[in-house]
């Protein structure tokens, strides 16, 4: 089980994590929460139903990582498509942000709920719903890190360039995290599909 997810009864999954892995995953999830930003909770006395109909932004985020997490729906090739994308974003981005925030919070909460063993590691056991949260958050983390590293479809694991970075390269720790998160995500998907 070390390093990869295995199925548990009821559609869940489990993985053994050491103390450092737990700390890295928690730190990355917290950073993702900070990037996504706080939720818009209704003010005291405000109608909670009004929040359901609140409109979101119509412009894409300027931060490339956020733009990757909240992409344009229809591209920006012409004025008509830009207008359709803006309209779509206005009515969907707030809900998408909430879901991404909920996924990252689920990661933090499940990690915080672990009971460490004598070596500081623990076995993380997820319910079926927590598995879905983790899949979403692992994907968001990889998209964010990949954007920061400027990983494109043309490079990466296929040509092995990410694996051959010298230890002196300042990107090496983030590349290692990116690859590790990909392996975790892959084993979680495989576990849930089996």
DSSP label at residue 168 = T
- Asked whether 123 and 3 are in contact (CB, 8 A), the reply is no
Of 70, 63, 126, nearest in space to 98 by CA: 70
Structure tokens at 176: 């290692």
pLDDT tens digits for range 164-186: 888 898 889 999 999 999 999 99
- Asked whether 184 and 131 are in contact (CB, 8 A), the reply is no
- Asked whether 137 and 143 are in contact (CB, 8 A), the reply is no
Structure tokens at 18: 């050491």
State the alpha helices, DSSP H only, in the chain.
19-36, 48-52, 64-69, 79-112, 128-148, 172-193
Question: How distant, in Å, are the alpha carbons of 64, 74, 81, 83 from that of 78?
Answer: 21, 10, 5, 9
pTM: 0.85
Q: What is the rounded distance in angstroms from the CA atom of residue 14 to the CA atom of residue 6?
A: 5
Decide which of 55 and 44 is more confident: 55
Say what the pLDDT of residue 1 is: 45
Q: What is the rounded distance in angstroms from the CA atom of residue 81 to the CA atom of residue 188?
A: 36
Mean pLDDT of 89-99: 90
Q: What is the rounded distance in angstroms from the CA atom of residue 152 to the CA atom of residue 154?
A: 5
Decide which of 79 and 5 is more confident: 5
pLDDT tens digits for range 145-168: 999 998 876 554 555 677 788 889
pLDDT tens digits for range 117-137: 777 789 999 999 999 999 999
């Amino acid at each position: 089980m070390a390093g990869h997810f295995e199925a548990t009864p009821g559609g869940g999954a489990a993985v053994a994590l050491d103390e450092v892995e737990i700390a890295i995953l928690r730190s990355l999830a917290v950073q993702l929460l900070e990037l996504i930003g706080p939720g818009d909770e209704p003010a005291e006395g405000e109608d909670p139903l009004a929040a359901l109909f609140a409109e979101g932004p119509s412009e894409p985020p300027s931060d490339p990582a956020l733009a990757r997490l909240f992409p344009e729906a229809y591209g920006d090739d012409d004025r008509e498509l830009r207008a359709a994308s803006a309209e779509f974003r206005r009515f969907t981005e707030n809900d998408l942000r909430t879901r991404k925030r909920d996924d990252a919070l689920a990661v933090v909460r499940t990690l915080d709920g672990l009971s460490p063993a004598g070596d500081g590691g623990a076995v993380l056991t997820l319910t079926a719903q927590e598995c879905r949260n983790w899949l979403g958050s692992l994907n968001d983390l990889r998209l964010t890190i990949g954007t920061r590293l400027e990983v494109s479809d043309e490079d990466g694991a296929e040509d092995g360039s990410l694996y051959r970075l010298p230890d002196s390269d300042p990107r090496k720790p983030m590349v290692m995290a990116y690859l590790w998160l990909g392996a975790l995500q892959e084993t979680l998907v495989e576990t849930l599909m089996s």
